[in-house]
Structure 1
Amino acid sequence: MMRQRKRKKTVFLSPERLVFKETDPKATLTVYNPYDGPVFYRVLSNVPERFIVSDPEGCLPSAYRVDIAVQYRLDEEEDANEKADNKFKIDLYSEGKVLLGSKIIFAEIQTSKREEDSFRPTRESSVPRPAASATTKHSPRRSDGTTSSPFIIIIGLFCVGILIWPDPGTSRYTSFIEISTSHRLLAAYVLGLITVAIFR
Structure 2
Amino acid sequence: MKNFPVFVFPVSLEFYLNARHTHKQLLTVYNPYDFSVNFKVLCTSPNKFTVIDPEGIIAPQSCIDIVVRYTQPSIAHCNTTEKFRITMFDRNTQQALGKRDVPTKLIEGEPSNTNPESLGDNFHPLATKAAPIRPSEEHSRVICNHPLHHREQQPINVVAVAVSICCIAALLLPTQPEQVVKSQWPEWLHIGSSLKLVFAFVLGLVSMLVLRP
In the superposition, the TM-score normalised over structure 2's length comes to: 0.47
In terms of fraction of residues, the more helix-rich structure is: 2
